[in-house]
Structure 1
Amino acid sequence: MSKYSSHLTTILLALLVTFLWSTSFVIIKIGLNEIPPITFAGLRYTIAFICLLPFTFTKSNSTIIRNLEKKDLFKLVLLGILFYAFTQGTQFIGLSLLPAVTVSLWLNFTPLIVAVMAIFLINEFPTKLQWLGVILFLLGIFTYFFPVELSENRESGLIVMTIGVLANSASAVLGRSINRSARINPIVVTIISMGIGSILLLLLGIILQGLPTISFENLLYLLWLAVINTALAFTIWNFTLRTLSAMESSIINGTMLIQIAVLAWIFLGEAITLQKGIGMLIAAGGALLVQITKKQKPV
């Protein structure tokens, strides 16, 4: 296989992953008609954790886990709480209160907040191009929501999603600091943090919302989300990051906003007006500018 065709295959694999992640928004919206959001999130990531657990028994990963220091374990526990318990929990709650496209758009605040947090936490200053991206993103958000008329449900949903975006941003900075040392295999980072966060999320969901009877159709959706859209998709994405540049992975990831809009329109009947469409495109372009100047981190 030539270098060009190999690279093209990697790009197509990355696009496949973003498509799988985009379908998650639609599947979750359908499943929320029967399964409470926190319990749903806990079930999805607990099943995904069980699927990935066998990887901890390989010789190299077992050695890494045995040699983990207390500070490493603390960071992994914190990552699990921030990225899975908070970020994923609030995302499922957000999807129970808001249209899928609005949740997707709000999640695009993450790179902006990460860029600002990086100034104070790791002394990493945004470039002029990144600041332009911030301005464009905010302009896109304003265009999408103008005029601002929020129902009680939508207002609550945006508050929940804001908490989720802050948790997601903090977990991104923490994850970068863990991966920067390159001492812990990414699969070990994922398994330990996912295990802690997902079990916490599931217990919280059962205590607060109970464990409902799940229909066969929703059980299939749940298994698909856990096995294909989480365990398999994250594994493939990590593989593509070894080859793709930061710009390529950012552009591919940025297509999710459009993919989700199209899927939500087809399967959920969430219509997008011309104004909202323009706002989405401006915001997506701004979020892209914030990300593309960053160096690709080894995974």
Structure 2
Amino acid sequence: MSNKPAHTTTILLAVFITFLWSTSWVLIKFGLKNNLPALSFAGLRYFTAFLCLTPIVLTSPKERAVLRSLSRTDWGWLALLGLVVITLTQGAQFLSLSYLPAAMVSLVLNTTSVVVGVAGIYLLKESPSRLQWLGIAITVFGVGVYFLPISITGVLGLGLLAAVSTMLGNAASSLLGRKINLQEHLSPLVVTFVSMGIGSVVLLIIGVVTQGIGILTLTDWAIIAWLAVVNTAFAFTVWNHTLQTLSAVESSIINSLMMPQIAILAFFFLGETLTVKEIVGLILVGVGVLVVQLRKRT
């Protein structure tokens, strides 16, 4: 009984972290409306977060030892992870948010676990249960309810292409991250530090070369700093701490709160409205993804 208050506190802390992550979407939209180039904006966010992690890693004898022990193979896998997680996935996410409403992008990204589940059939030889197939069906139906009928042309088509690229990048990151995290000699902090460093530098270079960096105002720098320090470095550190206490099911449920949070924040701060059909679609996708995750992790 004595652990119940502490467990409740951890749950509330995890919910707070999902709220921080949800506010990232609003802040990104604010930055994009200020004419921050999408790729350069993403590169600056994650490169700044990488700089925040640098003193933490380099002042830790344990993490320095892990860094020194990295083989060429380790560096190769971590570089690939950084290119997939940061360069491809985050770059595409910022691009999608420059074209589409936040709630729409959030819905597309929430299908990641379904794609991972289906990909696992072929790549990991993991066959979904009947309940998981039901969850997949509910998710697909929810996506259909939200989007159909739709004409995928022009800016909407570009935005959806970027959003789907982000979702596929998330799925690839999940499968790749599972492989890398099985290596016991690699610490989570070093994996994050190295992959984020490589991925963010490449993304920033691509952004500057293709889009320029724009004229950054004090507000722009404040948004970048907050996203990097609070919503990335701090939030991921605290989230990893909560995972030491929460069960996989609890963390899955809490993480699923982001989709409705993003929709609500987008309504109040961005003026993005939802039709009844879109709300039903969001709910169906949320339920379907939750069914897949709960069955998968129990």
1:102 maps to which of 101, 104, 107? 104
TM-score calculated relative to the size of structure 2 = 0.96
Which runs of 5 or more structure 2 residues have no equivalent in the other structure? none
Give yes or no for the alignment of 1:227 onto 2:232.
Answer: no
Question: What residue in structure 2 maps to residue 264 of structure 1?
Answer: 266
Give yes or no for the alignment of 1:247 onto 2:249.
Answer: yes
Tell me by how many angstroms 1:151 deviates.
Answer: 4.4
Question: What residue in structure 1 maps to residue 30 of structure 2?
Answer: 30
Q: Deviations over 1:228-284 (max 9, x none)?
A: 000000111111111111111111111101000000000001001111111100101
Q: Which amino acid aligns with 2:223?
A: Y
Ranges of 4+ aligned residues in structure 1 off by more than 4 Å = none
Tell me by how many angstroms 1:149 deviates.
Answer: 3.3
1:59 maps to which of 58, 61, 65? 61
Backbone CA RMSD of aligned residues = 1.3
Distance 2:131 2:236 in 1: 29
Give yes or no for the alignment of 1:7 onto 2:7.
Answer: yes
SS at match of 2:296: coil
Distance 1:248 1:235 in 2: 18
Tell me by how many angstroms 1:110 deviates.
Answer: 0.9
User: Does the 8 A contact of 2:132 with 2:296 survive in 1?
Assistant: no
TM-score calculated relative to the size of structure 1 = 0.96
Matched residues, number: 296
Q: Deviations over 1:195-233 (max 9, x none)?
A: 000010001100001111111112111110010000000
Task: Give me the identity figure in percent.
Answer: 47
2:151 maps to which of 137, 142, 149? 149
SS at match of 1:184: coil
Distance 1:123 1:50 in 2: 39
Distance 2:111 2:297 in 1: 19
Q: Given the superposition, is the C-alpha separation of residues 18 and 133 from structure 1 closer, same or farther in structure 2, using an over 3 Å criterion?
A: same
User: Does the 8 A contact of 1:129 with 1:289 survive in 2?
Assistant: yes
Q: Deviations over 1:81-129 (max 9, x none)?
A: 0000000000000000000001111101211111122222222222221
Distance 1:228 1:147 in 2: 39
Instruction: After superposing the two structures, state which structure 1 stretch, 254-263 or 64-73, moved more.
Output: 64-73
User: Does the 8 A contact of 1:14 with 1:252 survive in 2?
Assistant: yes
Tell me by how many angstroms 1:171 deviates.
Answer: 1.0
Tell me by how many angstroms 1:294 deviates.
Answer: 3.1
Tell me by how many angstroms 1:180 deviates.
Answer: 2.3
Question: What residue in structure 2 maps to residue 137 of structure 1?
Answer: 139
2:187 maps to which of 185, 188, 200? 185
Question: What residue in structure 1 maps to residue 292 of structure 2?
Answer: 290
Q: Which amino acid aligns with 2:125?
A: N
Distance 1:127 1:274 in 2: 31
Q: Which amino acid aligns with 1:145?
A: F
Give yes or no for the alignment of 1:162 onto 2:183.
Answer: no
Question: What residue in structure 1 maps to residue 174 of structure 2?
Answer: 172
SS at match of 1:293: helix
Q: Deviations over 1:121-180 (max 9, x none)?
A: 222222221111110001111111122234411111111111221121111101011112
Tell me by how many angstroms 1:69 deviates.
Answer: 2.0
Q: Which amino acid aligns with 1:42?
A: G
Distance 2:184 2:296 in 1: 18
Listed as ranges, the matches of 1:271-286 within 5 Å are: 271-286=273-288
1:72 maps to which of 70, 74, 77? 74
User: Does the 8 A contact of 2:111 with 2:285 survive in 1?
Assistant: no
Tell me by how many angstroms 1:38 deviates.
Answer: 0.1
Tell me by how many angstroms 1:2 deviates.
Answer: 2.5
Question: What residue in structure 2 maps to residue 209 of structure 1?
Answer: 211
Distance 1:182 1:286 in 2: 33
